[in-house]
Every structure is written in structure tokens, then in C-alpha cells.
Amino acid sequence: MPSSLITSNSLLAIDVGAANTRAVLFDVIEGEYRFVASGIAPSTAEAPFKDVAEGARNAVANLQKILGKKLLDASRGIITPSQADGSGVDALVITISAGPTVKTVVVGLLKDVSLDSARRLTESTYTRIMDSMSLSDQRKPDQQIDSLLRVRPELVVIAGGTDGGASRSIQKLLEPIGLASFLMPEEKRPSVLFAGNEKMEEEVKTLVGSLSTSLHFSPNIRPSLETEDTDPAERELARMIINIRKRQIKGVDLLDLWAGGHMLPTAYATGRMVRFLSKVYGSQKGILSVDMGASATVIAAGFKNKSVLKVFPQFGLGQNLVGLLSHTTLEDILRWSSLDISPGVLLDYLHQKSLYPATIAATKEDLAISQAISRQALYLAMQTARKDFPQNIANIKTNLTPLFEPILAGGGALSDASRPGQSLLLLLDGLQPVGITTIILDQNNLLPLLGVAASQNNILPVQVLESGAFLSVGTVVSPVVSAKYGASILKAKISYENGAEANIDLKFGFIETLPLANGETGKLTIQVARGADVGFGPGRGGTIPVSGGALGVVFDGRGRPLDLPSDPVRRRELIKKWNWALGGG
């Protein structure tokens, strides 16, 4: 064991998921921070334990076995700081995505302005919007109060009023909330976040302060009609979610105590990391992260001047799975399957998986079903998230996915896939990226842990990202084009560092690869058919440097948007063919 594990500033990061809890150790090896190892255990938020601390201890105990290093003391508490005998760690951070969605009511003055901003803010964490109130609400105050008493929200998010703007309208909206809270039992009253006109703080305290479980303020998310800034409010909301989790789930308060307050919702930590990376990369394109977990699918995108964080519990792959059918159909899920599976079998699977989210596919049929569900959930999440992306971002066509570099992907759906090719095809189908991008798999789901670790140590995330802890799948070239099946749409040539060359003639409807190993670089020259666009403009080619990955350079010639054949037999044959092209089975 390297002596640095004993003498350096080690950091233990724990992620409490809905299905699994992971404990990860980061430490200095040969002068730089590295991801050392991770231990996994089933989460214990549900019965029979109903105590998340138990799952965290089990994950750390499994990590101990891998490291051969003591991290837990006799009473199963974390040993911190590191001891002279080499046991323990110097710092501890925690992320959590386990727990039921937080029932939320959003309040804003104008439907298309502050209410929209409040909705976007609320969708940046694990919430479900149960009701919304604005000046255009046709209901009488007593009907609004009835609705609030029926919903029993755990959280109320209030926006509205530009800084220095009118305040009487907000008072009118706050009165039903104050009265409804007054009628609720004290322990059932909601937490309230006010992110509106800053001059209203005293009035808000008077109207709802004593009637809420806790009242929080953040800078105005809509300081003027043209400006929206949700970042400070997202930070405040993240902390409020942890406090709500303390009331909902046993063990969260103990974990927060262990972490010394360095505990964040997993999605917020991911968003923070993406925001940081978009500044580091500073590219014209955006940067995208997708995390497909049991509790939610999370999409975080960083652009030059704006970052977007969207949390979709309705597209989570665990307990909420049956609810997916209120957003899609069994047939739309089955169109992604390479096997002939009946809707009845799929429905059974959805119910079983929602009861036992930690189960892993044991048969080929199970794997085909789980991958088809993941594709449809990711596709729906991406289509929904795109609506909130800024207007002036780099794209080839406004109705398609914007240009991203790189795309980072993690979560159970991807780590369950047995080969990188399976994960890549899932991402290509669900996200439908365009142009030229690098796809990186976060196989150990480190991104959110690096996001929360940054609050303790801002060098650690940078060094771990550069260390090879993430798997580069390769460069993907996805031309935007429509053509007849089998028509030539793109010719490409890779020039390797050793002087060798490899060529490809891409046909519409096919996926092809050219070898370029991890760590290797080359020059990629592309010529496209008339009307095809890979980001250089319609019909234009170009030469760019490319880096290698597990699958080299992948050419997706299926067009955008992806149009699957309606004939089920032909469709399944094509899906098998695409799988084979990427080294799948």
C-alpha cells in the first residue's frame, strides 16, 4: 500500500442512492489526487432498516475490505482524521439522492415570467410540482387554501416581483399560503423559499414566517424581466432539501453530522461540477452530463454564460418506474428492444423492478427490457430538458440536440451494461447527439462526488478528472442528414501518429468504427455528401485532431432525428446489427 494513503490528505466520499450506497476513497498517490477504490452496499432507506446510515456503514465496511485499511471504529462510526496507525480519513463528504420526491407548490406573479423561473428552480432538485399559483389563477382564495390542504406540500417556492417592483400583488398570493399553513399540524407545515423582490422580506416573514417549518431567503431569481439567475437560489434549495430529508429519513442527520455539513443532493453536486467544467473547457459548444439513477434521471448542461440542471424523478429507473407509463406507452419502450417481447412481459418487468430497484438483469431478455426502458427514459428526459436550454447556443438545427463537447454519462443503467458498446448505443439512441463529440463514461459515478468534494478541496476534482478514472468511449461523428438507406453520406480518413492511415465510407442507416486506442491521437479528415452537416456547415468537410477511446472513432450514420423502421422484424434486425457494430451481442 502506498505510504501516501497514510500521510496525505485523504477524502472519503459517500453517495446514498435509492438502490445502492457507494463509499469512495480519494487520496494522494505520487503527488497527485487519485480515485483509489469504491465499496458498494444496498441502500437502507426502505424497510426493514429505514435508516440510511446503515447502508453507508456497510458500503464503508466493504471499502475497508478492498483497501485493507480501517475506516470504521468499534461503534461503526467513521474514524476521522487519519490516525498514526494509518486508520481513518482526513475528510468526509456525502451526496444523497435516496428518498421520496418532495411535494412542492410553486408561486409566482406572472405565469410566463417569475412562475416559469420558479418552476425551473424547483425542477433542479428532487421535487414534484403538485400545484402552482400566480396572478392569472382563476381560483378564489378559499379554493387555493383547499388545494394546499389537500396537497400538503413539504416545500413552497415563491418568486415574483422585480427588485424594487410592486409588492401588493405578492402579498395577495402569500395570504392563502399563510392561512393554509396555519390550518396544518405544526409538524406538517412546509418549508418556504422566497426568491423574489428583496424589499418584501419583512412582509414575507410576517405573513408566513411563523407558519412554516423553516423560512429561507435567496437573491431574486428574476431581478428584472430580462434577467434570470437561479444559481444562488439553487444553492439555498439544495440545503433545504437536505433538511427535508432529515425529517423524512432516519440516519440523514447522523450522516450530515459526520460530514460536518458537507452533504449535498446528488443532482446539485453534479450540476456544480458541470458548471465548473464548462468554465474549464471554455468551448463554443456546451458540456453535457447525464446520470440515470433509480431515483431520477438528471441532465446537467453547461453553456458559456448559463448552466441548466434538470432532475426528472418521473424518469427514474427505480420505484417510480411504473409512473413512466403516464409519459409514454409500452409500444414506444419496446421499439428500442432487439428481442421480440410482448407488452405484458414488459408491464410485469416494470412492476417487479419498481418493487426491487436494486436487481440486476440476469437473462438476455431482462437486459433487453432494461436497456429499452433506459433508452426511452433518457430520450424523454433529453426532449424535456432541451426546452429550457438557452436560445443562443451552438447547434446544427434548433429542433435537434445542441452541439456538446464532451458528453459525460453515468448511473446504474450504464454501469449495468456489460460492454462499453452497449452503453454507447444507449446514449446515441437516447440523446441523439449531433456533429462531433467525445463520449466519456463515468463508470464509478464519481462526478457528483467530485462536485461535493470541491467544497473541501478544489484541487482534487481537477486531478481526478485528469487521472483516467473516467472511461473515454471515443469520438463520435453524427452527421445531420436524411437519405435513402445504404446511400453514401460521409467519407473519412484517420491519419495516425505513426504515419498509417485508415479510411471509411459511411452509408445512411449504418454505424461504423475506425480504431484509435485510448491515449492515442490522430487527425480526422471528413468529407460529407451534399446537405449533410457535422458542424462545419451543410455539405462542408474539415480536418480536426481526435483522441482515442475504448471504441476508437464511431460514425453514426442513422440521421437525426433518429427514425426507426415501423416494421418490427426489420427494426429488431437493425438494432442487432448496430449492437454488433459496436462490439455488443
At residue 198, does pLDDT exceed 90?
A: no
Sign of the CA dihedral with 78 first, then 99, 96, and 471 last: positive
Average pLDDT, the chain: 89
Q: What is the pLDDT of residue 164?
A: 63
pLDDT digits (tens, 9 = 90+) for 138-157: 889 899 999 999 999 999 99
Higher pLDDT, 85 or 503: 503
Give the 3-state secondary structure of residue 499: coil
pLDDT digits (tens, 9 = 90+) for 296-310: 999 999 998 889 999
At residue 543, does pLDDT exceed 60?
A: yes
pLDDT digits (tens, 9 = 90+) for 485-531: 999 999 999 999 989 999 999 999 999 999 998 888 999 999 999 98
Task: Say which residue the cell 406572472 belongs to.
Answer: 110
Residue 111, Cβ neighbours under 10 Å: how many? 14
Higher pLDDT, 585 or 568: 568
Structural domains of the chain in order of their starting residue, each with its CATH number: 4-96 (3.30.420.40), 102-239 (3.40.50.360), 267-482+507-515 (3.30.420)
pLDDT digits (tens, 9 = 90+) for 428-453: 999 999 999 999 999 888 999 999 99
**Phi then psi dihedrals of residue 17, to 5 deg:** -95, 175
Task: Say which residue the cell 437486459 belongs to.
Answer: 367
Higher pLDDT, 388 or 357: 388
Mean pLDDT, range 452-477, rounded to an integer = 88
Quote the CA–CA distance of 1 and 99 in Å, as a whole number: 37
Higher pLDDT, 311 or 78: 311
Mean pLDDT, range 70-75, rounded to an integer = 88
* Percent of the chain whose predicted confidence (pLDDT) is above 90: 59
Task: Say which residue the cell 458528453 belongs to.
Answer: 407
Residue 166 binned pLDDT confidence (cut-offs 50, 70, 90): low
Cα three-residue angle 213-149-247, rounded to 5 degrees: 35
Quote the CA–CA distance of 487 and 482 in Å, as a whole number: 10
At residue 8, does pLDDT exceed 60?
A: no
Residue 12 binned pLDDT confidence (cut-offs 50, 70, 90): very high
Residue 165 binned pLDDT confidence (cut-offs 50, 70, 90): low
Q: What is the pLDDT of residue 454?
A: 87
* Residue 130, Ramachandran bin (φ over 0: left; ψ between -120 and 50: alpha; else beta): alpha
Please check whether residue 391 is in contact with residue 402, taking contact to mean a CB–CB distance below 8 angstroms: no
At residue 6, does pLDDT exceed 60?
A: no
pLDDT digits (tens, 9 = 90+) for 224-276: 778 888 889 999 999 999 999 999 999 999 999 999 988 999 999 999 999 98
**Phi then psi dihedrals of residue 99, to 5 deg:** 120, 155
pTM: 0.91
Mean pLDDT, range 68-76, rounded to an integer = 88
At residue 3, does pLDDT exceed 50?
A: no
Residue 585 binned pLDDT confidence (cut-offs 50, 70, 90): low
Mean pLDDT, range 522-546, rounded to an integer = 93
C-alpha cell at 534: 457535422
Q: What is the pLDDT of residue 167?
A: 64
Q: What is the pLDDT of residue 5?
A: 35
pLDDT digits (tens, 9 = 90+) for 25-41: 999 888 889 999 999 99
Higher pLDDT, 386 or 416: 386
Q: What is the pLDDT of residue 2?
A: 40
Quote the CA–CA distance of 106 and 390 in Å, as a whole number: 22
pLDDT digits (tens, 9 = 90+) for 107-150: 888 787 888 899 999 999 999 999 999 888 888 989 999 999 99
At residue 581, does pLDDT exceed 60?
A: yes
Long-range contacts: 72-79, Cβ < 8 Å, 24+? 77/258, 78/12, 78/258
Lowest-confidence range among 112-126, 294-308, 456-470, 555-569?
456-470
Higher pLDDT, 177 or 252: 252
H, E, C per residue of 540-578:
CCEEEEEECCCCCEEEECCCCCCCCCCCHHHHHHHHHHH
pLDDT digits (tens, 9 = 90+) for 218-233: 998 888 778 888 889 9
